[in-house]
Amino acid sequence: MPRPITLFTGQWADLPFEEVCRLASGWGYDGLEIACWGDHLDVVRAASDDAYLQNRFDLLEKYGLKVWAISNHLTGQAVCDDPIDARHRGILSDRVWGDGSPEGVRRRAAEEMQYTARAAARLGVKTVVGFTGSAIWKYVAMFPPVSPEMVDAGYQDFADRWNPILDVFDEVGVRFAHEVHPSEIAYDYWTAQRALEAVGHRPAFGLNWDPSHFVWQDLDPVGFLWDFRDRIYHVDCKDAKRQVGNGRNGRLGSHLAWADPRRGWDFVSTGHGDVPWEACFRMLNAIDYRGPISIEWEDAGMDRLTGAPQALEFVRSQLFDPPAAAFDAAFSSHQEQ
């Protein structure tokens, strides 16, 4: 059975949920990876309000869409982040922000992630995608000097804050897929390995694979799939384009806006960047990933109403299924006559 292709609604949360359903259905998407912000999904209501939940089901059915995953990146970011500041005020709901006291924000964000697990279960969804935040991302430059003990404390803080959340995920039979992404506790190969170790490799905690974040860091997205094959719980298709080599553009982005040609890299619509998509899809076949392929559309240089259907067409062209039998089986001399 072909893997479903979904549209992640996070970049469309300025539109009403029904409008996004209408657009995605018209383009031919199989379903949605629903973002838990805008009016797309209120996890507290979905966890407790039958009428609200039924409304989401009704809209999905009306447009012939299904849901295999929901995402709560914005709230998850605040669970471990330090500092908590004006950036978070811009992405968090009033319910989570409260009075803005940092520890209160972290506590309320953790509670909201527990509600997210319960909401997913009531939707019949087995995977929540998101961020974790990090108390030690601020140390990434390693200057002023950072001791090993400070880094250790960051991973312990992550485990202390996320294990109670993951307990609820276990309770309701849902898994968390952490997106390996700069500014998170796991942002590259080795930090992903360490994050898994920090929570004792518990099955409730796995990974969302988004190759766009690997490309500009010079990491191998294909090898990552193989090495972490038992933890790939969800796949997001997003692309990135490197723009280094002129002696001026740097990997860290230089505090420049998206689509500025002076950046060393940029997010681009799927198929327009440097992700080796065919090799990636072949590896997804090799590790027997059977979940949804979710297009996360981000491209500051392209209109999204052009990009989203184009990305779907590109992914469909690449997403071949593995064969039912080895090609050389036809060479056997023992076939029945």
Cβ-contact 77, 129 below 8 angstroms: no
- When pLDDT is averaged across residues 192-198 and rounded to a whole number, the result is 98
Tokens of 251: 């990997």
In whole angstroms, give the CA distance from residue 118 to residue 48. Answer: 9
Question: Do 68 and 1 meet the contact criterion of CB atoms below 8 Å apart?
Answer: no
Predicted confidence band of residue 336 (pLDDT cuts 50, 70, 90): low
Backbone angles phi, psi at 316, to 5 degrees: -60, -35
Range of the domain at 213: 5-325
Residue 130 belongs to what H/E stretch? strand 127-130
pLDDT of residue 284: 97
- Say which CATH number the domain at 47 has: 3.20.20.150
Q: In what helix (H) or strand (E) does residue 111 lie, and over which residues does it extend?
A: helix 102-123
pLDDT value of residue 323:
76
DSSP codes of every residue in 171-196:
HHT-EEEEE--TTSS--SHHHHHHHH
pLDDT for the residue 322: 77
Check pLDDT > 70 for residue 332.
no
Report yes or no on 208 lying in a domain: yes
Tokens of 4: 């479903």
Comparing C-alpha atoms, which of 91, 41, 295, 67 is closest to residue 174?
Answer: 67
- On the question of pLDDT at 328 being above 70, the answer is no
- Locate 117 and state its tokens: 């697990």
Percent composition of the chain: helix, strand, coil (DSSP 3-state, to 5):
45, 15, 40
Pairing, β 5-8 against β 127-130: unpaired
Q: Please give the Cα distance from 188 to 184 (Å, whole number).
A: 9
- 283-322 exposure pattern, b = at least 16 Cβ within 10 A, e = fewer: bbbeeebebbbbbbbbbeebebeebbbbbbebbeeebeee
Q: Is the CB of residue 230 less than 8 Å from the CB of residue 203? A: no
Predicted confidence (pLDDT) per residue in 101-139, tens digit: 999 999 999 999 999 999 999 999 999 999 999 999 999
Asked if residue 121 belongs to a domain, the reply is yes
How large a percentage of the chain has pLDDT more than 90?
A: 93
How does pLDDT run across 253-267, given as a tens digit for each residue?
999 999 999 999 999
pLDDT at 257: 97
How confident is the model over 137-178, as pLDDT tens digits? Answer: 999 999 999 999 999 999 999 999 999 999 999 999 999 999
For residue 333, tell me if it sits in a domain. Answer: no
DSSP class of residue 260 equals: -
CA-CA distance, 237 to 275, in Å (whole number)? 10
**Alpha-carbon span 285 to 244, nearest angstrom:** 32
Note the helical H segments in 126-276: 148-172, 189-198, 212-215, 221-227
Distance of CA 277 to the CA centre of its chain: 17
* Residue 225: pLDDT band with limits 50, 70, 90: very high
Specify whether the CB–CB gap between 18 and 59 falls below 8 A.
yes
If one counts the domains in the chain, the total is: 1
> pLDDT digit string (tens) for 289-315?
999 999 999 999 999 999 999 999 999
pLDDT over 80 at 330, yes or no:
no
Using an 8 Å Cβ cutoff, are 112 and 163 in contact?
Answer: no
Q: 3-state class of 7 per DSSP?
A: strand
> Does residue 325 register a pLDDT over 80?
no
CB-count burial class (<10 Å; 0-12, 13-18, 19+) for 202: middle
CA dist., res. 271 & res. 108, Å (int): 38
Q: Is 205 part of a structural domain of the chain? A: yes
Cβ distance 108 to 158 under 8 Å? Answer: no
The pLDDT value recorded for residue 97 is: 98
